[in-house]
């Protein structure tokens, strides 16, 4: 079951905030070192170049420092920082007119996009078993572990994630790449648990399908 509990700031978070309010540069640099790579990766989902993404991250850090007095500890410090980043990146992305309005990007209406491609199922008029899998998902139990964990396979996963729509890409990156809980993602992106769950399911289904195609030939050779 997904962890949907909101995590409040820890005592360590509160101590860090107090250090930052006091102008502790060491505390600030520690946060930058800890979060900067993930912040840059997420910023790149909204803007067109790495240079612009770096500007977004810098603007987000400025927003963090300016907003310290408003931090109330109702979420973790990390969640609060990333929400500032996402808001900053959205604003910059909209300014670049790079995508459709985010109000529509974040919609997760199951009727708009099926979680699994309908072509994977037999048509309703099929004389045998309409609606059932035409070809069931491939299992990877017989795929050698070293192949699943190889650099080539991981690179294929990365390419599949990069090809996802922005909303799905962001959710799967936070959940499966950064290891965030569903509550962390929901709070950082300010989306509902239902949206988070649907977007993650769609993203994982698409990545799995990409890997089925990539690992399929190897499966046939080793079967």
Domain assignment present for 202: yes
Question: Which two structure tokens, joined as six digits, stand for 128?
Answer: 């045998």
List the domain range (segments joined by +) for residue 45.
11-95
Name beta bridge partners: 121.
133
Return the pLDDT at 160. 87
Query: Of 46, 78, 95, which closes a domain?
Result: 95
Burial of 46 (0-12, 13-18, 19+ CB in 10 A): buried
Same domain membership, residue 91 and residue 110: no
The predicted-structure confidence for 57-76, as pLDDT tens digits, reads as follows 999 999 999 999 999 888 88
Q: pLDDT band at residue 166, thresholds of 50, 70 and 90?
A: confident
Same domain membership, residue 91 and residue 107: no
Domain assignment present for 5: no
Number of helices (H), then strands (E), in the chain:
10, 0
- Residues 161 and 201: their CA atoms lie apart, in Å, by 13
Same domain membership, residue 152 and residue 82: no
Domain assignment present for 1: no
Same domain membership, residue 106 and residue 89: no
Q: Say which residue the tokens 């990545």 belong to.
A: 207
Percentages of the chain per state (helix, strand, coil), in multiples of 5: 65, 0, 35
Torsion angle in degrees (nearest 10) through CA of 47, 53, 56, 61 = 150
Return the pLDDT at 80. 93
Question: pTM for the full model?
Answer: 0.64
Domain assignment present for 6: no
Give the count of domains, the chain. 2
Same domain membership, residue 159 and residue 218: yes
Same domain membership, residue 217 and residue 122: yes
Domain assignment present for 2: no
- Residues 208 and 157: their CA atoms lie apart, in Å, by 9
Same domain membership, residue 216 and residue 108: yes
Same domain membership, residue 108 and residue 82: no
The predicted-structure confidence for 72-130, as pLDDT tens digits, reads as follows 888 889 989 999 998 999 888 888 754 444 444 444 444 455 555 555 445 555 565 54
Contact 165, 99 (CB under 8 A): no
Q: Give 20-26 contacts, CB < 8 A, sequence gap 24+.
A: 20/65, 20/68, 21/68, 21/69
Same domain membership, residue 169 and residue 87: no
């Amino acid at each position: 079951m997904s962890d949907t509990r909101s995590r409040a700031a820890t005592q360590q978070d509160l101590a860090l905030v107090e250090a930052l309010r006091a102008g502790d540069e060491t505390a600030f640099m520690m946060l930058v070192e800890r979060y900067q790579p993930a912040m840059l990766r997420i910023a790149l989902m909204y803007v067109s170049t790495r240079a612009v993404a770096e500007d977004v991250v810098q603007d987000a850090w400025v927003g963090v420092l300016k907003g310290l007095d408003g931090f109330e500890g109702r979420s973790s410090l990390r969640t609060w920082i990333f929400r500032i980043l996402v808001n900053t990146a959205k604003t910059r992305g909209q300014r670049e007119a790079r995508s459709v309005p985010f109000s529509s990007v974040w919609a997760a209406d199951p009727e708009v996009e099926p979680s699994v491609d309908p072509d994977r199922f037999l048509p309703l008029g099929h004389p045998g078993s309409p609606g059932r899998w035409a070809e069931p998902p491939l299992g990877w139990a017989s795929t050698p572990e070293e192949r699943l964990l190889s650099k080539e396979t991981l690179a294929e996963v990365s390419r599949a994630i990069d090809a996802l729509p922005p909303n799905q890409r962001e959710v799967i990156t936070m959940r499966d790449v950064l290891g965030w809980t569903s509550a962390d993602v929901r709070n950082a992106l300010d989306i509902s648990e239902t949206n988070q769950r649907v977007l993650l399911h769609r993203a994982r289904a698409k990545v799995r399908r990409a890997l089925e195609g990539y690992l399929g030939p190897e499966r046939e050779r080793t079967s």
